[in-house]
Structure 1
Amino acid sequence: MNKLASRKDVARLAGVSEATVSRVFNNISPLREQTKQKVLQAAKELNYHPNVIAQNFAKGKSNNIGVIVPYLPKVNLLSTHYFSELVSGIGARLGELGYGLLLIFQRPDERKDYVQLFHSQRVDGCIILGARHNQNELEAIEKLHQLKLPYCLINQAFSEQHFHFIDADHVDGSYQATTALLEKGFQQVLFLNGPLEFSNSLDRLEGYNKALRQKGISLNEALIFEGNYSRKSGYKAGDKISTLLTKSKAILSANDRMAIGLMQKLNELGFHAGKDYAIIGYDNSEIAKMTTPSLSSVNVPLYEMGQLAAEKVLQSITHDINEQIMIKLSVSLIERESSLHVH
């Protein structure tokens, strides 16, 4: 096997110092054009390729964007529609623009220090998924924001802060779904929501309440249940929900995974979706089309949200832009068998 050419070999052949070779490949001026061409010619003859990692380190760049996702033991989050769509969108856009994606898993109870990711030269920017509304998280994001470091939150907006975020209009999503159920003649809608430390759970609650108000229906706390966005939590909620389920009631679930777990449990208890009750999920995951009956769901453009977050973070790096990122994408209700044919 031929020995790989080194910077020293290029310097010797071009008749210049190693420092000059470095300056050519790191594009550091001033350099005489004649000298530059001699170095490039020597590099070509020797088939020399500079160490990109070393180059980026010298420039203080890694060409990696950190994507921070929650780590939950025994839960493969990246197999879920929600996280896989977001990460795929981010990765696709970064790849097109010549950047790499560095996945960073963090336990929800771990002390957050996003600034440290930049100090350790591991990332040039970061995108945060699954941020929670608590003091530690707020302080860590506030530091990023104050230092004007390139970052973006996805699907979590802190209304009282001016953090950068890409979100979807979840108020409108749950409003559309609840309204659709009420307009089918159901007098009440049971609501299986996610934890209220996530802004999208609060938004869905707001949209649900807005739809009820418009129909002159008072909010009834006894009809609201909380899961943790897992299929298991939907299954678990089935016992309580079954005691309130009648022909006059329908169900809205804050994501498809909980809806599917809930449908499974209710089926075991003798309640059949699309026949005995109507149910609408959220996120429009691939599996929503495959359930029996197929699950109505609110479509959220997760892949596009990921792409947009990557684009905005890279813009702030490459163009040194520090404009406020506050974007909400629209959502739409997709009706299927689970809410169409109840009689």
Structure 2
Amino acid sequence: MGECVVRLDDVPAGDRFEVWWESVAKAVVSVEAFSAHAEDFWAEMRSVDLGPVHLTRVSCVGFEAHRSASRIRRSDPEAYQLSVTVGGRSGLEQGHGQAVLAPTDLVLYDTSRPFKAWSAADGDGLSEGLIVQFPHDVLRLSETIVKPLLGRRMSGRHGVGAILGGLLQQSLSNAGHLLAADRGRLSTIVVDLLTALLAHELEKDPDTLLPDSGQVLVLRVQDFVERHLDDLSLSPADIAAAHHVSLRHLQRLFLQEGLTISGWVRDRRLERCRRALADPLTDSVPINVIAARWGFISDAHFNRLFRRTFGLPPASYRRHMRDGRVR
């Protein structure tokens, strides 16, 4: 997918406010907006598709926006959005979370829940920000883990937040030089970095963010599994022992999140197979070799699992990725 740019320079001043928020509804999400500058409104938006991740940079004068329950019922992409403040000041309220954001700060919110957002211009009269949007299931974290972090300010000055913010800006700046396969890889990296950032926030202050420390343990176990997926001998018992808990206790925690340990490990290995099949650099590697690399020995079993998970058999998925017909 290519880039999309929306500018208001050629739109009559009296129509700009309405045209802008119609464009926002199409590219980001539908909201009800207000601005002291509605009569002389100016804004600019540039969007890039990275596959399941949609990245948008916005420059505009100050505004306030509300997403109500009635708007959610009319239109809901069922997605998370990550906002990164680049210039000026901004804020977001969702549930019990209230974030006031300075440049580099990040906040995660959910389009399926009401929220209020605002932006105030910097000295040059404009505010700037990045918005990352992706479907709920792309994050692969349960709602109970993510919900306490919605609407909470996360710093982008140091650590994982700084790495993620820098990657987003570089991805947008270099979008014109990216191949389809590059975009897919970047999409995966963005989601992985966001998951690492959420894990960092949970471990930093688990008592105030998550009353149930078991949810923190689940997230730590998931991170451990991601780092040891290439160990095909890794068993649920090994995972439990590595975290000094009983297997029964760990299984119970995963069940509370609607998961099983073995099923989650299998799904993550399937995802590694999908990434390999989407990568042109692996075109010379037979599908059964890729499957066996991640523990799927039976071709028939692998084909069934892959099709059930991703909607196409492995060979069709690889072929359609080269044709650009699969997002």
- TM-score, scaled relative to structure 1: 0.23
- TM-score, scaled relative to structure 2: 0.24
Which structure ranks higher in relative contact order (CA pairs < 8 Å, sequence separation ≥ 6)?
A: 1
Q: Which has the higher helix share?
A: 2
Specify the structure having the higher radius of gyration (Cα). Answer: 1
